[in-house]
Structure 1
Amino acid sequence: MNKKKAELLGQGCETDPYPVWARLRQEEPVSKVVLRDGLHCWLVTRYDDARAALADPLLSRDPRVAGPWWQESDRGRKLEDGAHLGVHLLTREAPDHTRLRRLVSAAFTQRRAKAMRERVQEIADSLIDAVQARGHADLVADFAYPLATTVICEVMGIPTRDRDLFRQWTSNAVVSEPEGNGAHAVPPRSPDDYLRALVAAKRRAPGDDLVSALVTAGEDRLSETELLSMLFLLLIAGHEGMVGLIANATLALLENPDQLLLLRDRPDLWSSAVEEVLRYDGPMELAAWRFTAGPVTIGGTPIPAGEPVVISLAAAHRDPDRFDEPDRLDVTRSDNPHLGFGHGLHYCLGAPLARLEGGIAMETLFRRLPDLSLAVSAERLHRQPSFVLRGLYDLPVTFTPVRSPARSR
């Protein structure tokens, strides 16, 4: 493995991986790399190759098409072991994927997302009400995380009192605390145990929510493993990406005050700003694993059957062959076919809700706390050491204390 790949896959690239992505994109756009756990994959970094790969039927999400070396690895076993909740939309193709997607799609339509606008606004305002008199906050713990988890809890029918469990099940759980503060405690309850109890409760008393709908499904009824896996996926995907989007967007705008000033003058650009942040520094650095169902050629590079392929969305989104001035945040960017929600058959079901939620969160935050600023330098922020998700562990900010609600819109 050459130095560029070692830099990319080693520690220390969480803050700014984009220069390394740029070198790989230019010099070796489709390359075989070794990950931190010793497994290898093929890495795709150019936009055109990435977009085509996301929709290529020969690149399967189903890990059962991978070679035996993958199946026998710890990572491969986790994807297939029901106790690890790995049988869901991200690991299945048609016809199973079609059946699973049909069951949950009704909860994530544009119409349903728009119907939640008032509730999302209410949650965002209440969270700012809770901190505005302090003059300081951690926007991950105090705003992004509770907003995202409350919304997905209400969609799924999960008691909001349980939301603190979810962070322990996500990539935040593997982030070390700042030196001297120790490490996270072991989660008191496993997601498998929690979801089994939730399903049992919904079977006894179903409600008007997504979990109840999946539990009481008719002819397309899910197996127990599929049901638990789908609930886990929807729960984690439904909040973790949104936490990352809100935090990354806040940081990007604070570091680009000209763009924030433009948004203050033109609030009609907030929707465009959400799309631009998804491109410029989105929460998904990599797309989900794919496996070659047969020999394929990507960007002129032949890849044998049974090989894992990883698509770098972060690299593709900074490709100068597709985006003008790709390293510049531009909330007025009109030509922005980013891949932040995927492309093709596996396009993200939650995209309408994510767009609505992200736009409301950002507009409300900067309107209610107009002099928001970082409490520490950007270099001192703690990022999640993930090679898939690109997010912040915390985001300390300061602002002028406000003693009474200021909810004018």
Structure 2
Amino acid sequence: MHAKLHHSLESKAAAREAQALLRSCVHCGFCTATCPTYLMLGDERDGPRGRIHLIKQLLEQGEATDKTRLHLDRCLGCRSCETTCPSGVEYDRLAGIGRTLIEQQQARPPWERLQRWGLRQVLPFRHRFTALLRLGQWLRPLLPRSLREKVPPRTTVTAWPARRHQRVMLALAGCVQPGTTPNTNRAAARVLDQLGISLIEVPEAGCCGALSHHLSKPVEGLDFMRRNIDAWWPAVAAGAEAIVMTASGCGSTIKEYGHFLETDPEYAEKARRISALTQDLSEVLDAQDLSRLALRPGSKKVAVHCPCSLQHGQQLPDSIGAVLRKIGVNLARTRDNHLCCGSAGTYSILQPALSRTLLDNKVQALTLDDPDCIATANVGCQLHLASQSPVPVRHWIELVEEMLGA
């Protein structure tokens, strides 16, 4: 597919990148068969092929309508289309450019601007978010059901093992996870400790930058990325062998730092190094000798939910299941594993109706074999699924940690 840039966009590097990305698309439509919003709404403009055509129109005409923005807003960013595409179209990057160009041209209605500004002022900052979360948890019994479902109960924090091994890996605390599911990284640290690896968090590292990027504030997102690189760099220079991601959404973004900062003369090389060091926790464990873990037999039947950011973003569709099978976990049958649960970062807040439909479908798909619990790999998915699931939803590493012997 070819687009001739409108004269007003010819000087914009992002528009030229979008023009180049468009060339890969042959408009075959294979992507529509795996697009959650197209399957739900049946509108060509709510599928990847239709959205690509809308972006092409934007590049050629120099402007877009509110309807174009509506259809791009409805995109989950799940990247299922990229997994399906036979031509290798980098749809996520293309859609991100399209959204940003429209955002630069058109002012949103006041309520939408306020809502998005509020999300950007709270969610990426762990202390702000946790303070508001604690208030919500205190008031939880008084909240209307729709809000109460979104506020997870407070968790008792467990211990972090002392640093005692020569092998060192870094963990990202992130922004939302420390307040909502604080034991995820602690469980990972205890499991890795049994394997002779010390996992440490660098306090200065925070939001990965994904939220700002997805809300069409790329410059702000790059600032978060640079802060993380600066925070991690001394430990990387000292020999940390990996940056371990327990939230697959963050992992998907950090593995692309090298792309996001490729034109930054100060950070380009460092960003490539950080991306190369970044591994999902399932990748790290799969590479270890798991027979070293003194594991008690697990009795639970577990339904595995592989987040979109892991199976489509990082192309690791069976990495959790592979590790759990290795240690003898009984895995439940599931269906429609390629479809999004509807969490998708801020999507559940900005598109609540579509998100809820996807959530209901996903819960049914995960519980068809009567599992004892659901295991996932991303905090957003975990909280979203737990809001409606009839069985507990846990990060998969907590299930492994529970199997550890004394």
Q: TM-score, normalising length from structure 2?
A: 0.28
**Greater relative CO (CA pairs within 8 A, separation 6+):** 1
Q: What's the TM-score, normalizing by structure 1? A: 0.28
